[in-house]
Structure 1
Amino acid sequence: MAPILPRCPALSDDGASSGSASAIVTDAASGFHVLRIDGYSRTKSTVPNGQCVESRPFRVAGHTWAIEYYPNGSHLECAGYLSLFLFLKEPVAGGVVAQWEFSFIDQVELQKPSHLCKLPESTFDSVSSPWGYEKFVKKRLLERSDRLRNDCFTLRCDIVVAGKPHAEDAKLPSSFVVVPPPDWQQHFRSLLMGGQGADVAFRVGGEEFMAHRCVLAARSPVFSAGLFGSMREGTVREDCIKIDDMLPLVFKSLLHFIYTDSLPDEMEGQEDATAAPTMAQHLLEAADRYDMKRLKLICEERLCRYIDVNTVATTLALAEQHHCLGLKEACFDFLKSHKALDAAKETDGFQHLLTSCPSVFFELMSKLAAR
């Protein structure tokens, strides 16, 4: 769709205003296909490693595609994983250049245009190898997750095919209507920052935060019970609720997520190798404390990025304490290397793991022995 350009008036010889406009545009076609796996256990037991089940062909972005689903991995090295591949089902001269992504149906962050436009481009044609993930997800993680329900789970494949840049005429309308993107997050952030109508106060580490009971209750069942039920969170003194064992910055970030469903800007851009995982750990604890499952999963995913020799033991202890199965498996996967395990054993965090979570240490040893 050509962008709408502002009016560019000019004077003709007779003094009348006239103008013209053109635009350089790149048309992009996009779409998605939803693939439901019914009877996961059946596919796993009947389709051996290296063999796949092909989806029905589907049309997206003007082309015909299909998905290859390998319930036991596409080759021997990934037998413990599900493999997924996208391929073109029709001959196209020169191939089709596209951006693509596989995700579970609930992973909305991976399905947004802002994520898809940052992905590398892949060239598809009907004779070359398909594109996809050899290790999309560990079977054990899927089987322990809420995504597998009644032996079924649902996948989504997003595809964006960009055309070649070209010039075209652009109209100069006398008036136009542009519908902006949703802005509720900005409004709720302003509500939090301005404090208008706030009816509950929290004291955290010497700092006071104002908030709205109905917003907190709508986002967290723990806040709902504490503010409107018989339970009470912290120590109530007059109209201020005291929150112990939490840093003010963590509570501030928690409130920001409650009101905007996003992390604070300063946390999004946080690259410090120590500060970033530490903040994610604290926020995960807060998310678990207030039963905010989406925030907890976001923190888990972030902590998976920072697993290294120095952090793996403390991260594993945290995962065990807060029942983070995905994060726990990621730590186990990192420690499967003898070199990584030997180096981690020399850290203070590993000694703490031995004393605080002996059961998870024995689970780790059992996994390594089995391998």
Structure 2
Amino acid sequence: MIGKLILEDGSVFAGEVISRERAVGEVVFNTGMTGYQEVLTDPSYCGQIVTMTYPLIGNYGTAAVYDQAIKSYVRGFVISELAGDPSNWQAECSLPQYLLSRGIPCIHGVDTRAVTRRIRSAGTMKGIIVPAEAGAEEIKELFGRLPEIEVVAEVTPKEVYRMPAEGPRVAVLDYGIKRNILNSLAKAGCDLTVFPADTLAADILGRDFAGVFLSNGPGDPKDVPKSIQTVKELMGKKPIFGICLGHQLLALAAGADTYKLKFGHRGANHPVKDLATGRVYITSQNHGYAVDEATLDGRDYVVTHRAVNDGTIEGMKHRQLPIFSVQYHPEAAPGPDDNTYLFDEYMTLLRKEG
């Protein structure tokens, strides 16, 4: 079935759609050669149409073990060549079957290089996926829908739950956490209690937790002011470790600022330099916002990690308090295990402060 991806600047890219499902969202691109299922189930992509820059997608199929959440939150999927006959002993179904069973709009046979070049030139923008017969009025109506700002509320859990272990008790503020992050914290030895994003600081400080973890999540960090206030009230009370959105919320709670990147960092091949050791790590990233370094001046924070490609902040820590964060995803293992030392550092901090 012929379809098209239309960007809000009027650019049109033809392809084939696997269903008549329409998609509306912010169009972004991911440079990973693998990990398409993890992308589809990463809550940080909530509200977005994801373009995969690697041409062949779906060749190893899908399996439940790779899901990062209980469902997919992406609004649409754009690929060049869709593999319908996977070759992998773990495969439980093909990618087309996976997409159809979850109602994820997908357009394939698209010139994804051209899509990516357009986004890199003009910046991320709203887009839609529609069948070829979609008329002008429908297209206008789809583009007229209000932008999504409450994406964290969509992905956060509704109730508190536990992942018990024999180790320090950690309160996890879940803004859209990936399963691999929870597993990495548990593997390091943390006894986890996971809280919804709108949890108040008093609900955490009133219980015997050794530390607090701030998770990844979707959207603009400034769209969740209540979460920023909670983080502000937790600072100096408990050791804190933040990843991705958690890193940005920590910066805002400290009085710094964040800004939107032109086309973001999304992929499994982003080099990041540890400024303490000089070592460069290959990292997995998924974010559209960054911390404004100039606004960190005079706020007792030091930059610990920096993106090699564009120099943006990829990590920071407080000079006196047991607080640190990174912008990238150490649990995603593109190295494959180069960055898991951060979870061990957090455990060391918990035991020291405890």
Q: Which has the larger radius of gyration?
A: 1
TM-score by length of 1: 0.27
Q: Per residue, is there more helix in 1 or in 2?
A: 1
Q: Per residue, is there more strand in 1 or in 2?
A: 2
